[in-house]
Structure 1
Amino acid sequence: MNPLLADTTTTNSFLPMVSVVVPIYNGEADLPELIDCLLSQTYAKERVEYLIVDNNSSDRTLADLQKFAENCPITIRPLSQNQIQSSYAARNTGIRAAIGEIIAFTDADCRPQPQWLLSLIQPFVKQEVVIVAGEIIALPGNTLLEQYADRQETLSQKHTLAHSFCAYGQTANLAIRRIALEKAGLFRPYLTTGGDADICWRILQQNIGRLEFAPEAIVQHRHRTTLKELESQWRRYGRSNRYLHELHGVELMREITKGECGYRLLRWLLKEVPKEILKAIALKANLVDLFNTPIGLFTARARYSGQQDAKLPEQAKIIDWL
């Protein structure tokens, strides 16, 4: 038999039962597009359930979700977690209700592409694989900040997979074997950021199995469009640094001092700006090239500020179990 044909046959016949868990909070605007993306999945419909967990929304999210679930050609199970305001608590609610041997995760504001789930699940054909991370790319954006984040590939899993402490995948595009969750525990329900790294590291450090990257398993996600949103995003990254430092001993990022910041801005004004203006005149540069340095300094300082201000709550150390 042709080996290539054999591999294809094996891949096509590998269809374990999968439960996709999606936390949602005040996401009524995101629901129609999210449901369309789930309907477009090429994974066998009878082998997947979608557990969308409302996290105490104050809008019409839960009511709209229940309407979408009625008479839907795919299995959508609306759930609710209104005791703890945390996406990780909502994910735990979904995991507990799930029947799949593999639990996949994405977010309500993500847009999984049609081949997403099929590509994300295929690496699990190898028994030693217990975590699979797919790729996250940006939805098309026109603002300067969106273009900057796209250039930096801010959302890409390549950053988390290359983490200096230990690789991990973001829950916007992640799948985990149920048996690994049984052994290492679920998400920390009171944690508000950093839970994806924490759960992956607990699994990997217990040598339950290994992580694999599935680059063809793609979800799209929006970049931030305003400085306020961008600052909030990077402050959250800083809080995550602090929490993971306290939970796992991860090295904290160093501060960019005012002197260093001033020097880099002066260098930008005197050297980079004239250079980029000349390139722009020759149609070889754009605004992203021109403002790369100040935006980068802005995000770095926001991240450090979030790290400095954060303190891990005692409750956030609690791990939920199946």
Structure 2
Amino acid sequence: MSDHSLAATTTQDFFPKVSVVIPIYNGEADLPELLNCLLLQTYPQDQVEYLLVDNNSSDRTLFILQKTATNSPINILPLSENNIQSSYAARNAGIKAASGEIIAFTDADCRPQPQWLYQLIQPFINAEVVIVAGEITALPGKSLLEQFADKQETLSQKHTLANKFCPYGQTANLAIRRNIFHSSGLFRPHLSTGGDADICWRILKANLGKLEFSPDAIVQHRHRLTIKELASQWRRYGRSNRYLHELHGVELTREMKNKEYGYIMLRWLLKEFPRETIKNLVGKSSLVNIFNTPLGLFTGRERSQGQRNAKLPENAKMIEWL
């Protein structure tokens, strides 16, 4: 028996009623693996409800959810949010329907590991803790872009928890006490990105409680496979920077000047590229080390473009309430 299995039988365990909220948009391909991950959770089944919220999908997502709910050993509640196309609006629908003392969040393209929910909930034994963030690791990938993102630890919560303005956790792996929403409000339903930082900051800046990190509460996520997907991901990060600047006064990410960009590319071509290529030929370096600099410059430029072109819609400022 593993140490984790032994941990689940100690008298210190804390098993409040939990509601897991998962927004889903055209998630038909992801559902089999996601549902299997939920089935394998070690948290007591009678203490969990899974609120899977279809966000106006055009595929068979809702049909699959409804069919699964009728004969699943776990408590699956299919819901719909068809008025607003936004993962935050879908999460709000889940929170409103939830009966749990704690609301846990993940996404349809995430793969929660068996101990995820157990480890995510344990820090709440401390009454001062109102937010818990778990870790996000990468699903195994072999492509150059996946290796690059892995090397950068792009998905890890350690970046968001170290945020200079205020720490926060990403909704791919986050839990919040339900009663806190009465004071903080819910997610901003019309916001398209940055809602996880926004809600954590509203809670923490109002001194409603503490945030804890649970590194053993692990959710796996797939890295982007194409340059187009990578560009979209980093432009979204840039839009998020702009929105959070307007909502909270967060400092904007500094944009690199063309002169700096040119200098770094030249240094890469003349110095890093030949050095890493030779090391690669003798088996002492990898392809990702060769292309790390240009890929880093590419993602930085995409983030700058997203930040520069973003404008926060007026309705995105609205907070929904319980």
- TM-score higher than 0.5 here? yes
Three-state SS of the structure 2 residue aligned to 1:168 is: coil
TM, length-normalised to structure 2: 0.97
Is the Cα–Cα contact under 8 Å of residues 26 and 61 in structure 1 kept in the other structure?
yes
Residues in 2 aligned to 1:265 and 1:59: alpha-carbon distance in whole angstroms = 43
- Residue 60 of structure 2 is matched in structure 1 by 60
Q: 1:216 aligned to 2:225? A: no
| Structure 1: stretches of 5+ with no match in the other structure | none
How far has the Cα of 1:237 moved from its partner? 0.2
Instruction: Return structure 1 stretches of 4+ with deviation > 3 angstroms.
Output: 5-10
1:1-322 mapped onto 2 (5 Å cutoff) = 9-12=10-13, 14-322=14-322
How far has the Cα of 1:190 moved from its partner? 0.2
Instruction: For residues 200-257 of structure 1, give each alpha carbon's deviation from its aligned partner in whole angstroms, at most 9, with x where no partner exists.
Output: 0000001010000000000000000110000000000000000000000000011111
Residues in 2 aligned to 1:102 and 1:296: alpha-carbon distance in whole angstroms = 38
Question: What letter corresponds to residue 34 of structure 2 in structure 1?
Answer: L
How far has the Cα of 1:292 moved from its partner? 0.3
Residues in 1 aligned to 2:47 and 2:83: alpha-carbon distance in whole angstroms = 30
How far has the Cα of 1:7 moved from its partner? 11
Three-state SS of the structure 2 residue aligned to 1:9 is: coil
The verdict on how the C-alpha distance between 1:36 and 1:8 changes in structure 2, with shifts beyond 3 A counting, is: closer
Is the Cα–Cα contact under 8 Å of residues 11 and 122 in structure 1 kept in the other structure?
no
Single out whichever of 41-50 and 276-285 deviates more from structure 2.
276-285
Residues in 1 aligned to 2:22 and 2:86: alpha-carbon distance in whole angstroms = 13
How far has the Cα of 1:278 moved from its partner? 2.1
| Structure 2: stretches of 5+ with no match in the other structure | 1-5
Residues in 2 aligned to 1:282 and 1:262: alpha-carbon distance in whole angstroms = 29
The verdict on how the C-alpha distance between 1:105 and 1:7 changes in structure 2, with shifts beyond 3 A counting, is: closer
Question: What letter corresponds to residue 284 of structure 1 in structure 2?
Answer: K
Residues in 2 aligned to 1:279 and 1:258: alpha-carbon distance in whole angstroms = 30
Residues in 1 aligned to 2:215 and 2:11: alpha-carbon distance in whole angstroms = 20
Instruction: For residues 56-88 of structure 1, give each alpha carbon's deviation from its aligned partner in whole angstroms, at most 9, with x where no partner exists.
Output: 000111001111111110000000000000000
Residues in 2 aligned to 1:238 and 1:10: alpha-carbon distance in whole angstroms = 46
Single out whichever of 66-75 and 39-48 deviates more from structure 2.
66-75
Residues in 2 aligned to 1:265 and 1:130: alpha-carbon distance in whole angstroms = 45
Is the Cα–Cα contact under 8 Å of residues 276 and 289 in structure 1 kept in the other structure?
yes
Residues in 1 aligned to 2:247 and 2:193: alpha-carbon distance in whole angstroms = 12
Three-state SS of the structure 2 residue aligned to 1:11 is: coil
Residues in 2 aligned to 1:6 and 1:163: alpha-carbon distance in whole angstroms = 32
Percent same amino acid among aligned pairs? Answer: 73
Residues in 1 aligned to 2:305 and 2:251: alpha-carbon distance in whole angstroms = 16
Instruction: For residues 2-32 of structure 1, give each alpha carbon's deviation from its aligned partner in whole angstroms, at most 9, with x where no partner exists.
Output: xxx99973432x1000000000000000011
How far has the Cα of 1:53 moved from its partner? 0.1
The verdict on how the C-alpha distance between 1:10 and 1:71 changes in structure 2, with shifts beyond 3 A counting, is: same
Is the Cα–Cα contact under 8 Å of residues 234 and 306 in structure 1 kept in the other structure?
yes
Question: What letter corresponds to residue 162 of structure 1 in structure 2?
Answer: A
Three-state SS of the structure 1 residue aligned to 2:22 is: strand
Is the Cα–Cα contact under 8 Å of residues 194 and 244 in structure 1 kept in the other structure?
yes
